[in-house]
Structure 1
Amino acid sequence: MRENKFKTSKVHKIIFTISLFVVLFVGAVTYKHIENLSQSSKLVVHTYEVNLELEQLFSYIKDSENGMRGFLITRDENYLNPYYTANSNINESFAKLKKLTKDNKQQQQNLNELYEIIKKRLDYNGEYSDPDLSRNIVNTKEFKKNFNESSRLLVAIRNKINQMTEIEDTFLIKRNSIYNEQINLTPILTLSILLVTILLIVYAYYKTNNDLEKLKEANNTLNKAFFLNSQAEILSSFGTWEWDLVTHVTKYSENFYRILGYEPYSFPSTNDNFLTFVHPEDKEIVLGIMDRVVREENLPPSTFRIIRPDGEIRYFRATGKLFLEKLKHKTVLGVTHDITDEINNNKLLEENIQSLEKLNNELIIFDESSRQAEILGNYGSWIFNFETNEFIYSENKYRLMGFEPKSFQPTLENLMDHIYEDDRELVQEAFENANTTGEIPALNYRVVRKDKEIRHFKTVAKSFTDLSGLESMIGTTQDVTEDYHKNELLEERNYELEQNIKELSEFNHVASHDLQEPLRKIQTFISRINDKEKENLTDFGKDYLIRIEKASSRMRILINDLLQYSRTNRGDNVFTQVDLNEVLANSILELSQNIEDKKAIIKYDSFDVIEGVEFQMQQLFTNLISNSLKYSKEDVVPEIVIKYKKVKAKNEPILKEDSHEVYHKIKFTDNGIGFEQENAEKIFLLFNRLHGKTEYQGTGVGLAICKKIVENHNGYIFAKGVPGKGATFTIYIPKYI
């Protein structure tokens, strides 16, 4: 603060000069009196300035303390702004005090001591002005030690300032005494003093007007600060309060009402009213907090819940510090923060951490399962970086190459070193194409392991882009050496099988012709004997001739059935569009004589066109109808019913398939002699017969041919019989179109 200097105006000089010439003595005494009075006034003002600046200095120190404590309590970096501002003001205040006390060595000494105390205290506070550092050490023993030391230094500062103030008060008493003596001078100086007083009044008016302007400016700044503080409370969801421990009067900021769910000043700010908002389960906690504030004159950070008027539960955290006023009032200044969002975020964070831990455990299990699966499946996985041409191998990928896991840094270059020489160009081209196509289709190549063994590998891969935008390729490589050798062996066996089938076909062809040729001759000679020599034979000879004739007929039927069965075993079946209506009509035509002889009745539905082998479907229908005619009951008209419909596999329990695949369902039902259900599988076996040769003719090949035909069409055939009531044959043929 600048020291006031009173300068004599021109008017005063003129008046003083005239007065000097008129009344020299009075003027001289008056001048001296005015000069002494002015000097006394300056000294008094100087003393007040020092005291005021000392109080201002202490105010700045408290502002710095409040800013730092607000930051430590709330972790809100906005509290550091007044802290740094107050530190700057402290330096300016020291400069002013240095200037004001430059002519007083004792006060200069006291000021230096005060400076060292304040500097030491600011150094303690400065250690915690870093937001990142303070978060980690607030609860440490070192912090508590420094905090106690800081509080002790604050008391020392107050004491030192009080000491300096007392010295200035002593000066003030003396200077006031001198000033009063000068005021009480003789009435002779009244006129002169009056003139000086007028001048002083004018000057005082001028200074007062200037001070009022400064006061308005300061008040305007204070209003701005109050507005900004109110906005900060709204934005940060906190409110401030004051609790006078002497009168027990509390005051709330406007936003304190808002975080409680009310408009500002809508109810009296008392502790009893506040308790009505506290959650019933937390009232004991809050009462304990209030009691502790009264006893310890301090409020450490405390958390509790309140219930707003709309029923919403919010979490609050309150903290406060004691503030001593000049009038010895003890007031606790506090901040209450709505931390509901923080609590909810912490809960969500804990849930996320638990989920991540669970996921991490699952990933660990999955990773271990993958490792075991790779070992069992004889494959390895890898990731290829297009930019660096480097791989990341799974552990088993190293093993497939004949190395221990992590024994080298895999790159495209050292991979090529292990590729069999004749396959390197193929693999190199596959990786080059993967840059544009984004994948490596199934690629077979050979690798020379560390022990020089040549192994056959199969690789598939596909590119992907991770969250950071890095494009890589993930792939799987399997050692298919055993499969390769099995395929080679299988090809050899297939070739041998084809040769055997070819030889068997040739055998069937030769056998059928070679067997039928002597059979035709036997039947020819039998026919001639019947025509020319039968009457010359004895009864035994005729009986033998009949038996030979029947045996040769069975022989011919058996050869024909075997040829039919052989045809169904061929693998060169070509599927075409087959109209089952025509197939059925041809079968009825083929069996028309037998149907007419037995006066059989055949009922049937309309059929769809299916995909199949036409001559085999013809053989299937013919054999099943013929079978029903053969095993019909005597003196009962045979009745054969043929049903058709399309069904889904999942709706047919007998198929034991839970799929939506569609089948052609064909069911043959007759009223013949039937059979025991325990023989339902046996009747489809080759050469299997349920009756003797003399009872019913047949070779036991017909139903075996039916089963083979259905299997050739990837279908199913089932038989169901009831002795004396008939039999049902159900066929399922897949629908391909």
Structure 2
Amino acid sequence: MIEEKLSVEQLVWQSPIAIAILCGPDYIVEHANDLYLEVVDKKADQLINRSLFESLPELVNQNIKPLLDGVMSTGIAYHGHEFEVDLVRKGNREKVYFNFVYQPLRNSKGIVDRIVVVATDVTKTVKESHALQESEKQFRSLVMQSTIAMGILRGRELKVELINPAMLKIWQKEESEVLGKKLLEIFPRLEHQRFPQLLLNVYDSGVTYSETEGVSYVDMKTHIATLYFDFTYAPLFEKDGTTVQGIMMTLNNVTDQVEARLKAEENEKRLLLAIRATNLGTFDLNLLENFYGDISPRLKEIFGFNKDESVTRVHLFDQVLPEDIEVVQEAHRIARETGKLSYEIRIIHQDGSIHWIKASGEMLYDNNKTPVRLLGTVMDITESKRMVEVLRESEERFRTMANTAPVKIWVADTNGKFTFLNRQWLSFTGRSLDEELGDGWQEDIHLLEREMVLEEYTSHFNERTPFTIEFKMKRHDGVYRWVANSGVPRYTPEGLFEGYIGSCMDIQATKIAHEDLERIVAERTRDLQEANDQLEKSNSQLEQFAYVSSHDLQEPLRKIQTFSDLVLQKIDEPGFDGKLYIKKVISSAGRMSVLIEDLLNFSRINKTDEKFDTVDLNKVLENVVNDFEVLIEQKGAKIIKSLMPRIKAIPIQMNQLIFNLIGNALKFSNENPVIEISARVLPREELKLYPLLQSSNRNYVELTFKDNGIGFDQTFAEQIFLIFQRLNDKNKYNGTGIGLAVCKKIVENHNGVIKAEGKRGVGAKFTIVLPE
């Protein structure tokens, strides 16, 4: 036993890690090696044979005792990793970190009575790790807050690990669209550009790559953009400082600067080309030394010198006509104040010829805003001046001719604005030239036609095509007259569009004659169409008459013949009583008489036979109801009616129409019938329900007759309007079946429509639409 104890002590004291043995529930320190004493900054007599929490009171409230209690009670070891502990060492309380094991020890009875503490101080490692994490956190925060576009790509796959808002703005992407994705997934177009390979070279070599004004073609949300960048690709190393783990991208979008420079260079090239193309002379005047630093060969030629001659400012000034010298001096004085030089003067060549020149220039100033240089151009405008004079004379001749012409003449510029109107135009409108020029003439157009006229006028202007527009134009007395305004495009000899020239003629008489002719043709066409419609109706009615003649009229005639034959056959028989047969003959003859009478009535209905007049349908309805007073009382009928309109119609036909409809409703009903009669103005949008009326510009009224009678099957809604068409038992309901045919003919005579709706056993509804 003594040897075993010595062996344990040797093990504890010689171990390279901190070891201590805690005994009993008070955790008395039974053993502790030097390393453990060093870690807790205690001497052996301050720790050995004392309670751990007595020797190190700062551990009391640091959740260490519960861990020890758990090991003591369960017998299960506890492993701590980077466990944070506050210890007092060298008089100072400090935070330290341990990796440790609480290993239980059992006595001979198997009861845990000791705990071996094995601990390693990892404070330095943990603090270095924390510092690294904080450094990385600060680095990421710096990246995210930077106004410079920055991002981090990881691995050879170039996955986006970090991207700041400035980079997202350049990419025009959301963070969710790029994080964790490969660069080529985000921008596939880069695959055939050099940037992916440049990044991989940095990743493989660990050498930073920088470039200025690198051009890139990037897929944006709406287009492919050409962008220029100053960029740097820097490798990010592992802790060993040699292994590359990623790449830091830094981009500066210099597209605006590059495009501005390229544009300036392009403008400079264009300026040089323009100067050569326009045959301008150029000069550079040093204002401090009062001499020309540069005079172009062309400028010498403009002043009448040989382009190879040595020319000074004095030479040039001597060429100015004496009466124009003051113009030059004043222009230079103004240029010193405004920075801009501009004048037109005459010069005299050595051969005595006079020439016009136009000089333009711009001042350059030093830091004190003192003019130091004057850069400018000179153009020979002799020919232009001559052309202006010719044009002035030509315009004067044009104005004289235009003002004596018998028509209204106008001239417009390339924007469609009127620049000239002759006296005849102003005399017609009674307005001043200032009121009519520009867009003022548009006030003369009739308000209802103005939009149409201007739309057509603008369309022809845009297409550079001749036009003639007819519209009503206001005369000086307020009367609108029809005019025909014609215009043709004007071009310079070089083919440049200059605007339009046109004339305006009064066509009031011609227009009225044309409208009268159109009205007569329209009336004749309408009359012909109505005649054709009437002919079609007559043909249809003839077909129905033929059917009646071959069927309906034949039926009572056959009965008369049949019963007459029977009387002749049996008249000699003893006891024969022919009264029954004679009654049937008389009945059939009576039915035939009714059919013939109804046919005659139907044939007489023609709108041309009687005149149209204003008809108050309220009075017609009242008269018809009075006619049926007895039948209404017998059947206990109830008639519900609303206010009826006044219309243009044939009075007697309106009476017959309403009489037939109410009569039918009373006839084809059981006891206590209810008849509802209503009227309303038909809304324009509902005309589409009646195709025959849609082309009309009239207003219409709708009359409705609804009953709760026996009704009919809707499949027969068209058939019931044919003459002598009956849908019900003729023995139960008397009549010839011509009433609704008469109604249909009356409605058509009045250019209206009628339709029927029904349901057997429920009732019927008749809708009539007539012109208001």
Same fold (TM over 0.5): no
Structure number having the greater helix percentage:
1
Shorter chain as normaliser: what TM range? 0.3 to 0.5
Using CA pairs below 8 Å that are at least 6 residues apart, which structure has the higher relative contact order? 1
Q: TM-score, normalized by length of structure 1?
A: 0.35
Q: TM-score, normalized by length of structure 2?
A: 0.34
